[in-house]
């Protein structure tokens, strides 16, 4: 929960800073009208903020107003016929497997290569997010797999699911190249020596930003979609495995999404060999092989239940 508190605090601090840049340091609640919020939104957009960020800021303002009912009745500025908070559109982008292999084969030097490889680690690692990648530890490697509990679900659910990531060839290479050489503590050195949770959260945010910028530079050069981010790894992992007819219950558990209703059926396919079998389908098998016929590969390499 500590990193959530850090993110919330920084979000409110950023909201206040932008409000003060827009209208000065002395802003009374009485001045926050629908027109004021519309002008503030226009200011934020013209300052380069995304619609999603504008939505965050406006929800923060609304939360503060609601907390003590500073404005109510006709003076309450939010709602239909008044100011409506915009909703950012986050398109769930799924790449083709051939496109991912193009990114993997792309020749580049550091630091672009490091951030590209972290993006690939996310994809081949069941769509694992950057927060969990940075927090992985060597003692979570067991029997050729990484086994961990997502930080997000660990803190928010009573019942959590342990995720198993088979260490396939791409992951093995990335760990060997960038991992801590003493094989102690964190697998990757990004959080080494960082003492506070606030600093760790900021470091992970910086890494995520760098990964997104690097992958978009590569995508531009390869003429791939221009809005590829770390979100695309998870959605691509799911979409490609579905096209390969991998059992949905396997995919759900690979992501950490499950409930008791699927436990029994999953137990039959939770064996280590099957996890390697399904995730290995994502790997390049030869020059252009994946481009030819993904459906045929699914038919010949997966025994459908």
- CA separation, residue 32 to residues 23, 58, 64, 70 (Å): 11, 11, 12, 10
Burial profile 211-225: b = 16 or more Cβ within 10 angstroms, e = fewer: bbebbbebbeeeebe
Q: Is the pLDDT of residue 83 over 80?
A: yes
pLDDT tens-digit series, residues 163-208: 999 999 999 999 999 999 999 999 999 999 998 998 998 999 999 9
User: Which tokens in the block code for residue 278?
Assistant: 């399904």
pLDDT tens-digit series, residues 21-71: 999 888 999 999 999 999 999 999 888 887 888 888 999 999 999 988 889
Q: What is the pLDDT of residue 152?
A: 63
Which pTM was predicted?
A: 0.70
Q: Average model confidence (pLDDT) for the chain?
A: 84
Q: How many CB atoms lie within 10 A of CB 198?
A: 16
pLDDT higher for 215 or 257?
215
Contact status, residue 48 vs residue 93, Cβ threshold 8 Å = no
Residue 78: DSSP 8-state: B
Contact status, residue 146 vs residue 139, Cβ threshold 8 Å = no
User: Which tokens in the block code for residue 18?
Assistant: 């932008």
Q: Give 112's contacts (C-beta < 8 A, 6+ positions apart).
A: 214, 217, 218
- C-alpha dihedral, 168 to 204 to 127 to 125, nearest 10°: 10
Architecture, CATH, for domain 97-301: Orthogonal Bundle (1.10)
Measure the N-to-C terminal CA separation of the chain; round to a whole number of Å.
40
pLDDT higher for 194 or 262?
194
User: Which tokens in the block code for residue 226?
Assistant: 């221009």
User: Which residue, 297, 300, 273, 303, is CA-closest to 285?
Assistant: 297
User: Which tokens in the block code for residue 291?
Assistant: 């481009």
Mean pLDDT of 126-140: 95
The domain ranges of the chain are: 2-75, 97-301
């Amino acid at each position: 929960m500590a990193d959530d508190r850090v993110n919330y605090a920084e979000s409110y601090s950023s909201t206040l800073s932008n409000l003060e840049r827009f209208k000065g340091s002395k802003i009374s609640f009485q001045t926050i009208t629908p027109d004021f919020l519309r002008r503030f939104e226009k200011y934020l957009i013209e300052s380069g903020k995304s619609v999603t960020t504008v939505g965050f800021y406006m929800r923060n303002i609304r939360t503060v107003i609601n907390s003590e009912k500073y404005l109510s009745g006709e003076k309450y500025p939010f709602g239909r016929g008044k100011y409506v908070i915009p909703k950012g559109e986050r398109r769930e982008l799924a790449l083709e497997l051939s496109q991912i292999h193009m990114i993997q084969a792309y020749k580049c030097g550091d630091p672009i290569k490091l951030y590209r490889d972290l993006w690939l680690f996310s994809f081949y690692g069941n769509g694992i997010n950057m927060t969990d990648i940075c927090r992985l530890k060597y003692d979570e490697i067991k029997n050729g797999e990484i086994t961990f509990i997502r930080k997000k679900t660990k803190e928010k659910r009573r019942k959590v699911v342990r995720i198993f990531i088979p260490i396939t060839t791409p992951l093995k290479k990335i760990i060997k190249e960038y991992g801590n050489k003493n094989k102690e503590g964190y697998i990757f050195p990004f959080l080494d020596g960082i003492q506070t949770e606030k600093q760790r959260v900021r470091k992970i945010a910086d890494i995520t930003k760098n990964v997104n910028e690097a992958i978009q530079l590569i995508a531009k050069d390869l003429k791939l979609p221009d809005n590829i981010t770390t979100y695309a790894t998870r959605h691509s992992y799911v979409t490609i495995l579905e096209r390969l007819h991998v059992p949905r219950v396997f995919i759900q558990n690979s992501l950490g999404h499950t409930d008791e209703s699927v436990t029994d059926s999953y137990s039959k396919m939770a064996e280590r060999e099957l996890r390697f079998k399904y995730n290995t389908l994502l790997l390049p098998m030869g020059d252009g092989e994946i481009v030819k016929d993904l459906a045929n590969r699914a038919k010949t390499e997966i025994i459908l239940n």
